[in-house]
Amino acid sequence: MIRNDKCPQTGIRVTHSPLFERLDLAPAYRQVADTIEQMITSGRLPPGDWLPTEADLSAQFGVNRSTIREGIRVLEHAGHLRRDGKRLRVSVPHYLDLASRASRALVMHQVTFHELWEVSVELESLSAGFAASRIGEDGLAALQANIDEMRTRIDDPDSVVALDVEFHDLLAEAAGNRALALAREPISLLFHPAGTTILPRLKTQRRILDAHIRILELLRARDVAGVREWMERHMHDFKRGYERTGVSMSAPLGMGQRER
C-alpha cells in the first residue's frame, strides 16, 4: 500500500512506496498438490506406490478433505496419480501429456515459426541419424506403410499433413532415445497447423512423398550421414514452403491455427 505522510518540519506530504510486495499465497489445495508432486519427482513417492488415503492426508496436512480432494484432482489431471480401484497409485505422466502442456507453453510464449524451425532442423536430423543405426524391420515396415498410405491419399492435403507428422513420429520412435522423443514431441505437435497452412496453398504433397521415399531408402542402407543430410534438405524445403505462403516467419504460431 502506498502511504502519504506529512513531514513534521516542512508540512509537505511525502509519498512512501512499499519496500516489499504483498505475498501472493497459493490456495491450500495448490500447496497440497505441489508438496505431493515434489515428493513424487524427488523419488520419495516412487511410481507404483499407494498414495495415503484422503483421511490420512487430511490429518497430515492439517486441512479438510475437500482441500485434499482438489489437490488430488490436480495431480490426476497432470498424470502423477492414477486410480486403482478406490485407491490412488503414483504414476509417471505419459510423454504425450507432457508434450501437450509444453506445446501450450510454447504458444503462450508466442514462439515463432522461425524459432520452431531452427530447433526442429537439428532434432529431426539427429532423430533420423539415430534411426539409421538402430531401426529394425518392424520400424522399416511401419514407415513403408505410412508412405504407401500417403501415396493413395496424395490429393488430400489434410491426410498428407497427418501422415507427414506420423512419419516423423515413427522415425523418432525408431531412434530409440526417450530424451530425444520428449524434446521433439511438443515441437512436432505445433507443426501440424503449419502444414495445414502450406499444403492447401502450394499443393506440394508430391515433394513430401518423394523426400520420405528417399529417407526410407537411406534408412534401409544404414546411411547415417546420408539420411541426416536428406532430413535437413526436407526441413529446409518445408521452411521455403512456409515462406512462399506469405505468412510471416516471425509471427507467433498458434496451435491449431489454420490460415487459408
pLDDT in 10s for each residue of the chain, 260 residues:
545 555 555 555 655 556 666 655 678 888 898 899 888 877 788 888 899 999 999 999 999 988 899 889 888 877 788 888 888 998 866 544 555 566 666 666 677 888 888 988 999 999 999 999 999 999 999 999 999 999 999 998 888 888 898 899 899 999 999 889 888 877 776 676 677 777 888 888 999 999 999 999 999 999 999 999 999 999 999 888 878 887 777 877 554 443 33
Q: In terms of domains, do 106 and 229 share one?
A: yes
- Whether residue 221 is contained in a domain is answered as yes
Q: In terms of domains, do 136 and 63 share one?
A: no
- Whether residue 258 is contained in a domain is answered as no
Closest to 180 (Cα-Cα) out of 168, 165, 166 = 168
Q: In terms of domains, do 101 and 86 share one?
A: no
Q: In terms of domains, do 116 and 232 share one?
A: yes
Question: What is the domain-level CATH number for residue 37?
Answer: 1.10.10.10
CA atoms within 13 Å, Cβ hemisphere of 29: 13
- Whether residue 222 is contained in a domain is answered as yes
C-alpha cell at 238: 518445408
Q: Which domain holds residue 189?
A: 97-244
Q: In terms of domains, do 110 and 163 share one?
A: yes
Q: In terms of domains, do 55 and 116 share one?
A: no
User: How far from 7 is each of 14, 16, 238, CA to CA, in Å?
Assistant: 7, 12, 68
Count how many domains the chain has. Answer: 2
Question: What is the domain-level CATH number for residue 177?
Answer: 1.20.120.530
Q: Alpha-carbon dihedral of residues 156, 162, 165, 167, nearest 10 degrees?
A: -70
Q: In terms of domains, do 75 and 158 share one?
A: no
Q: In terms of domains, do 64 and 107 share one?
A: no
Q: In terms of domains, do 224 and 154 share one?
A: yes
Q: In terms of domains, do 51 and 102 share one?
A: no
Q: In terms of domains, do 109 and 212 share one?
A: yes
- Whether residue 239 is contained in a domain is answered as yes
pTM of the model: 0.60
Q: In terms of domains, do 154 and 63 share one?
A: no
